[in-house]
A and B are shown apart, each in its own frame.
With several copies, the nearest count.
Chain A
Amino acid sequence: MAKKKNLPLSKMPKLLWELHNKMVLIRRFEESTIKSYQQKKIGGFLHAYIGQEAVGVGVLAHKKPEDSVVTSYRCHGLGLALGISPEACMAEVFGKVTGIVRGKGGSMHFFDKERNLLGGHGIVGGQFGIGIGAAFASNYKKQNAVSFIFFGEGAVPQGTFHENMNMASLMNLPVVFICEDNKYAMGTENVRILANTSISEAAAFYKIKGYAMDGMNLSEIHDQMGDIVEEVRKTKRPALIHLKTYRYKGHSVSDAAKYRTKEEEEKWKEDDPLFKSADLLVSEGYKTREEVEAEDKKTKDYIKEIVKLAESSPDPPLEELTQHVYFDKREGERWQ
């Protein structure tokens, strides 16, 4: 592996600045959606990515345009990390026709064809097969794309995780399995659902490589993932990454998170990925504390703008109700 040519993030001021601000964008976006949800301007389920920003941003820094990404319902962060228009993302969460999937999917179902974001899926573990399918298609078409499958540690006990690891290994599919272990699956701590919480050890049986990583540190994630993604792309051998992270909020907005202590939450907040990357920017002398804060302020203002835009955007027209059920024209259909 051409390890030498991969510079560490700390030595790439432009990228570090960009990735840091992506994390800030996600953080502010999510804070805003929670507020709007509490104001009942957003409905359904809303799962914030706050606390986990380093994972999505750090991993997807290595995504090439032809690569694919798939994840669970906790998908805003990855959508934004991929560079989908925040306006369209916000509009989607507000259920507007200007949303990325025309208000039909909502918060849990972000998709983007340009960037090969294959969802946003609501069923725990439902995304694994889709992810390996994208890798299969890349091999089929003799392209060189990698498929990133993000999932919570709560999906590890679902059989589908194992089926797809076996399949990806057998078929030599270029897949990166990324377990975002935020310690909880709803109200259940990982130790109560997994016979083994060292999730990267699951790789061994499938004869693929497993890696454990701190999920709260952007530059570490970025640096380690660079090599791994490169190797997967070259060897077409899947890899499993276990990232320990934490969601600062409840499972969804309606969860008061009483199953954990305030102390625990505080401990993890000391480890905030945004603080760390801000510190790095300052300590390396790339930016002043003021510049960092000014940019954050800009982001906050921008989010306010796009909330206003989303609120004033049109709902999907009623004609859309029965559109997009089938792609092909149907003759003689008859039902109600």
Chain B
Amino acid sequence: MAVITVREALNQAINEEMARDENVFIIGEEVAEYNGAYKISEGLLDKYGKRRVVDTPISESSFTGLSIGAAMSGLRPIVEYMSFNFSLVAMDQIISNIAKMYYMTGGMYNIPIVLRGCNGAAAQVSSQHSHNMESFFAHMPGLNVISCSDAADSKGLLKAAIRSNDPVIFLENEMLYGTSGEVPDEEYVIPIGKGRLVRSGDDVTIIAHSRMMIYAKEAAAELEKMGIQVDLIDPRTLKPLDYPLISESVKKTNRVVIVEEGHYWCGIGSQIAEFIYRDLFDYLDSQIIRVAQSENPMPYAKGLEAASLPSTKKIIEAVQQVTYTGAPS
């Protein structure tokens, strides 16, 4: 297996799917001549030309709408938002048109579209550039929401997203682009809706996605030293959610910590927690603890930013809380 970065994995996924299907194209700011603000589309212009690798003005609402019309006319657009912060100016197109279209047309027009780009905080990019959009999108029926934590999943799920006949919100994370991992040599696609058990343990279930998996893994390693075995789940697809995987784990461990980078109120973790509480109430030996961003916009100062975000330490403390192994208070 080759070791590649998440950046390369995403690039390969797009490249392979564009080679496979003439109707796939990519559109967004700086995707063509600049090779992508984060170089995800590197080399695609050279290979596929201007027709299929399309630079745009800073007009997110327009090029999102364009992609919907193109999808209704038989194409399969990949829309790159330089970051999902900028998807806010296109929100009406995403919610009113993309999410509703297939239903509103009584099954006449499905929208095979992928909206992708960075989600969440990067490094000190401050209040307006650090939104986590998971729960915004998961709230609305008609959308799928994917957010991966490593190269292999990123590649396999982006390919699945491009092949999906429904809209997919594909949330990447700038801080993961440069991280490396093994990727199968042969072609593969990971089904939408399948989570992954990252490591197995009997004492506590940790659910984490995207960049948070880095901290969750570190926490699990630390906790092992402390004698606590973690069942670590990466849902990968946030909607639809691999509930059977989660359920099995919770039935085994009876204790759950849910980590997300975004805000607490109505975060994706609130929904995952509610599912678990509702359906596995009698299996739980403790309430669930959620680790999320603190209840404030993202500050610029490095120290404050770090304090805002979940961390390995916060995850460990949460596990200690649900396993009653923390320091007595």
Contact = CB atoms under 8 A, between A and B. Distances in A.
Contacts of A43: 123-124, 300, 302
A322 B107 CA distance: 11
Nearest to A194: B57
Nearest to A159: B61
A133 B67 contact: yes
Contact of A327 (B104, B166, B191, B302): B166
B165 A327 contact: yes
Contacts of B194: 332
Interface in A117-139: 118-119, 121-126, 128-138
B328 interface: no
Contacts of A96: 301
Given A44-B125, A186-B34, A336-B295, A129 B301 contact: no
Interface in B27-69: 29-30, 33-34, 37, 51-52, 55-59, 61-69
A102 interface: yes
A333 B193 contact: yes
B63 A108 contact: no
B106 A328 contact: no
A25 interface: no
B240 A330 contact: yes
Contacts of B69: 68, 70, 118, 129-137, 147
A122 B30 contact: no
A68 B127 CA distance: 22
Interface string A168-180: 0010000000000
Interface string B227-266: 0000000000000111110000000000000000000110
Q: Chain B interface residue count: which class? A: 35 or more
Interface stretch (B2-10, B11-19, B83-91, B176-184): B83-91
Nearest to A112: B108
A192 B45 CA distance: 15
A113 B108 contact: yes
B296 A105 contact: no
A328 B160 CA distance: 12
B295 A137 contact: no
A188 interface: yes
16 contacts: A43-B124, A43-B300, A68-B73, A118-B73, A122-B128, A126-B97, A134-B69, A140-B51, A158-B89, A159-B59, A160-B65, A164-B62, A167-B63, A325-B295, A325-B297, A332-B194
Given A192-B55, A320-B304, 15 more contacts: A45-B125, A95-B301, A102-B107, A105-B104, A128-B62, A129-B67, A130-B97, A158-B59, A160-B62, A164-B66, A192-B33, A323-B107, A325-B141, A326-B142, A327-B166
Interface of A: 43-45, 68, 70, 95-97, 99-109, 111-113, 116, 118-119, 121-126, 128-138, 140-141, 147, 154-155, 157-160, 163-164, 166-167, 170, 185-188, 192-194, 259, 315-316, 318, 320-328, 330-336
